[in-house]
Chain A
């Protein structure tokens, strides 16, 4: 379906050539617009709503947005890694009631590839 990337919160992960959001997407749907220092989604309809990018963004800039045709507005669900063994999910309904769920996990941040540093995009955004 789709995600939104909050332009105010996203800083493109500084100089990173391949920010975690971009790295984690199983569908290669996110790229970095280097001139703007922002992450950009290629195509909303191609998104699997898998939350992989949401979980790894250090700025909590990404949200999964379900299409209105199947989901009413006003609720949200946000994961946050508390430490390497816990993700806290905050689930809030329309009325503003929120519940939090602690998910025990083996949360392993994405490791850096040596290749990341030499990485350049060619043919992007033509």
Chain B
């Protein structure tokens, strides 16, 4: 059979934004407001009305400077929660603008819950919203802003000329058409990565996970392949979530004051580990101590809700409908009794994520990546944990402003025929192999194999997320074999072709995750990164960032230790 010849669309633009989620939409709108005539394109693998993390809706703005907080106090809180290591400059620049960014999205139509004119608090640094349609609200504003949206076009690689990013390739995952978009500046905003590890749920319920199963780490993988510097992939995000349904728990703990107890009914964090209002447990420790309880045989861990009135429970259900309607159904179907078992807590992930933890592109204060022409924002950008949706908006805005300013002085955006042909061959290979009736592997099979090996040897739930040098080396070896098998992927149609690229991307991300996990020889974030062979925090040697660059030619991953100097990072900021 002949090789598949897709229709090829070559489009030239000023700004290309990859991923039309929270950060991508904010970037596009900011770019339009700054530059009324710029040509702006969003390349989005789904449909921006319902894509990414926000598809189902959310019920809170989790990063907000409330009345008795300041950007400084916010930074201090996040720094403590990240065990002393983060990019102070990135977190601080976010903190200074999150309220403004939120007000902006409110002006697009987002309903924020208020009490006497003031935003209703969810927790100390968060506010409640009626966010069911937060994503359609973004999309409406994008459409009103004369921005070209290419829906169902999934990005596969950057167009790179002499080390600079000058655009991206992608294909329509329904029609199979190919896109080569050249641009003066490119903003990557594809979110984080799920599905690198086997999730706590498997089989039929594998996608009952917290993070979007459709954010597959494409943005990371594209950067890795192009030689961008990445940071902190070893700080994995493993959230405690409502068991089975993977629903976020913040609203239960903070807004509805539901205590976490072990099987004995003890508030174990306080009783057994001495955490109090003053000595706060950090996010990763929450997981760490929950697993300590489980290992000690005092599981399951649950939220109790005896204290809630019927009215409060209805309010809680209504709030959850804004974000996780499936859990409300499950709650009712299983007739969870408020006096009996409570709501059980489990885990979800590990995810690679720059919005809760800090894995992602190494960027400067203005959100430039280390590749000229490429900017990063949102969950794909590293260094700034706990940015959440509002931090993603801020980063989108900053990236757009920088990108516009830089692109005024940039550069020829040539598309070379040779590069185009190489990417065409790579993109459609699984489809061509299938048509040639070659033996091979389907992407679903490869995904399962990747997740299994990451789970068992690279610190998944199989080993209580614990890590050990020798196991990581096994993972590394097995992954290398799996990577070779990537050549044998088969795709029956274009949807499946997309699944092939998703698993190829995940493999590239997984390889970097393992390299990072092997490098950090201490335990910085117990729970997220527990090295049982190096169980202590070692500030003398490891209060520094672990960064990586994969050489685009040789494919070798080079690891570096970036010294951490908070004062230098904050210079001229405050």
Contacts and interface: CB of A to CB of B under 8 A. Distances in A.
Interface of A: 1-2, 23-28, 31, 42, 44-52, 64, 66-67, 69-77, 79, 87, 89, 91-94, 99, 101, 103-108, 110-111, 113, 115, 119-126
A80 to B, nearest CB: 13
A52 B53 CA distance: 12
B495 A28 contact: yes
Interface of B: 45-47, 49-52, 55-56, 109-111, 130, 132-133, 136-137, 139-140, 143, 149, 151-152, 173-176, 201, 203-209, 212-214, 244-245, 314, 317-318, 321-322, 325-326, 328-330, 332-335, 431, 492-495, 498
Contacts of A67: 204-205, 208
Contact of B173 (A28, A87, A93, A101): A28
Contact of B205 (A1, A99, A110): A1
Contact of B207 (A46, A66, A101, A105): A46
Contacts of B203: 45
A107 B321 CA distance: 14
A27 B207 CA distance: 11
Contact of A52 (B56, B130, B175, B494): B56
A105 B130 contact: yes
B329 A71 contact: yes
Nearest to A43: B444
A70 B244 contact: yes
Contacts of A92: 332
Contacts of B328: 77, 89, 91
Q: Which 10 residue pairs are nearest across A and B when measured between Cβ atoms?
A: A75-B333, A49-B326, A50-B56, A77-B329, A108-B136, A26-B55, A52-B50, A70-B244, A24-B50, A71-B333
A1 B332 contact: no
B111 A72 contact: no
Question: In terms of DSSP, what is the predominant structure of the interface of chain A?
Answer: loop
A104 B111 contact: yes
Nearest to A104: B130
A33 B287 CA distance: 45
B333 A106 contact: no
Contacts of B498: 28
10 contacts: A26-B212, A27-B213, A28-B495, A31-B495, A45-B205, A52-B55, A71-B330, A76-B329, A77-B325, A106-B133
Given A26-B52, A105-B132, A123-B493, A75 B207 contact: no
A51 B325 contact: yes
Contact of A122 (B49, B176, B208, B209): B176
Contact of A66 (B47, B318, B322, B330): B330
B111 A106 contact: yes
A62 to B, nearest CB: 13
A74 B56 contact: no
B316 to A, nearest CB: 11
Given A28-B495, A103-B322, A108-B140, A51 B56 contact: yes
Contacts of B317: 91, 101
Residue with the greatest number of chain A CB neighbours at <10 A, chosen from B130, B173, B214, B431: B214
B79 to A, nearest CB: 33
Given A27-B46, A124-B493, A108 B137 contact: yes
